[in-house]
Amino acid sequence: MDEDLKKPNTHNGSISGALEAKNQDQPKAAVLQKNVGLVSGICLIVGTMIGSGIFVSPKAVLEGTGAVGPCLCVWAACGLLATMGALCYAELGTMIMKSGGEYPYLMEGFGPVLAYLYSWTTIIVLKPSSFAIIALSCAEYASTPFYPGCTPPQVVTKCLAAACILIITAVNCLSVKLAYRVQNFFTTAKLLIIVIIVVSGIILLAQGNTQNLRDPFAGATTSFGAIGLAFYNGLWAYDGWNQLNFITEELKNPYRNLPLAIIIGIPLVTVCYILVNIAYFSVLTPIEFLQSPAVAVTFGDRVLYPLSWIVPLFVVFSTFGAANGSCFTAGRLTYVAGREGHMAKIMSYISVKRYTPSPALIFNGFLSIIYIMPADINTLINYFSFAQWVFYGLTCLALIVMRFTRKDLQRPVKVPIVIPVLVVIVSCYLVLAPIIDKPEWEYLYCTVFIVGGLLLYVPFIYYKFNWTQRIMRPLTMHLQLLLEVVPPEKTE
């Protein structure tokens, strides 16, 4: 928020110059480099979307629908909705070539206040708490084999989760190439276990294990709110379909690779999710499905024995890869918000040696470790999920608005207007249905937190009080020296 730090030649110029002098052998500009190709883009989408949800708790969708048929329909509908949302984001991403996910689109469509509230909510709560939940899932599955017959102690799980966050943050700070190679490896691993589960299910169905699929709509639930909650849980497993828009500036040939990765990645995940659920139902009755603490592990124990240990192992791989993708994109949002003056300027600085937004990544990792400490952060993310869909809906609404207000912008990808309209309507339903069906004070607390961001926006960003600049200037200079980072260079 320090205006004087915008220019490397004032106040911090000597620091920037000294650091750059040490690295004159580096021919590249101090900006994020375009290192992510099509395959890595697909792996980022697929690897971030497929986390622990499809392996651990797909039963939440069955609870909301009450029967196998509606359950599979919800999984398919969630995939369709994710695809429609991602197509809207493909148009936005090729029209506004900036990283940061929804942030630059809300900025262009509705102005800085709404963009700030999005960055405030996502950077402080949504991204780090999501990272923490995935790390805790990874830690739980990694520690379970060492405690046969009982639940691992919380202190062990939380220490392992913290170690997972530290390792992933370090990898992302060290190298962009290393981060996406890690992503590619773990995406391949999770697709391998999905193939194993699906092939096993096909063999069992071919052998006549179809009893759970014969009357799929018996006992279906029709409650307005219950279906909404089923969609919430299904869409949580699909969350990550917008991840490529967080790194638009680092994509090679983004006009081609952004829409192509979306068109390949999201339908691939949808097919995987539907086939995996069908495979589960080839072995488990709906009642057994709901009683299982981890559906994929129960499936593995019944079908893959004595090799059933590979399921929890690959769940660890899957969650680690999803956590890596979450960290990768969260750092970019924090970086862009810092660059636009909506976060401390140090967040927008780039490592002069490694070309990574290390301050932003470290900040996200630090918050994630804090979120590990409470007893149950799942409650937190559940209540904030409605906020995520508020911003998804507003982003697609921004696309509709800019069709009329920004006709001058080039649109290499242009989706039919009916698609963003449908996404906005469904977003309204997903936001309102759980609140109407089961109103709770927590939704109000979340809303107050989001709007409460204005208490920081007015003095620190809108008015830019001088005393905040006096505090931030020396802090920024010391962090620059410690982390060896400089302001990003402006490149055309």
Q: Which two tokens stand for residue 296?
A: 């994929």
Other Cβ atoms closer than 10 A to 119: 26
Q: Is-cis flag, bond preceding 434, omega within 30?
A: no
Q: Is 413 helix (H, G, I), strand (E, B) or coil?
A: coil
Alpha-carbon distance of 37 to 139, in angstroms, equals 30
Q: Which fold has domain 38-486?
A: Amino acid/polyamine transporter I (1.20.1740)
Alpha-carbon distance of 152 to 141, in angstroms, equals 9
pLDDT (tens digit per residue) in 39-97: 999 999 999 898 877 887 688 888 888 888 899 999 999 999 999 999 999 999 999 99
Radius of gyration of the chain from its Cα atoms, rounded to whole angstroms: 23
The pLDDT, as a whole number, for residue 211 is 87
pLDDT (tens digit per residue) in 151-199: 788 899 999 999 999 999 999 999 989 998 999 999 999 999 999 999 9
Of the candidates 55, 135, 31, the one whose C-alpha atom is nearest the C-alpha of residue 364 is 135
- Its pTM stands at 0.85
Whole-angstrom CA distances from 310 to 191, 198, 324 are: 13, 15, 21
Alpha-carbon distance of 378 to 383, in angstroms, equals 9
Q: Which residues of the chain have pLDDT under 70?
A: 1-30, 57, 222, 224-225, 375-384, 490-492
The pLDDT, as a whole number, for residue 308 is 82
The answer to whether 172 and 331 have CB atoms below 8 angstroms apart is yes
- Which of the 8 DSSP states describes residue 457? I
Of the candidates 1, 325, 5, the one whose C-alpha atom is nearest the C-alpha of residue 168 is 325
Q: Which two tokens stand for residue 140?
A: 């739980």
The answer to whether 146 and 346 have CB atoms below 8 angstroms apart is no
Amino acid letter at 382?
Answer: N
Alpha-carbon distance of 22 to 12, in angstroms, equals 16
Q: Provide the residue ranges of all domains of the chain, joining segments of one domain with +.
A: 38-486
Q: CB under 8 Å to 478, separation ≥6 — which residues?
A: none
Query: E strand or H helix at 350, and its extent?
Result: strand 350-351
User: With 0-12 CB in 10 A as exposed, 13-18 as middle and 19+ as buried, what is 404?
Assistant: exposed
Q: Is 440 helix (H, G, I), strand (E, B) or coil?
A: coil
Whole-angstrom CA distances from 59 to 73, 328, 370 are: 14, 29, 29
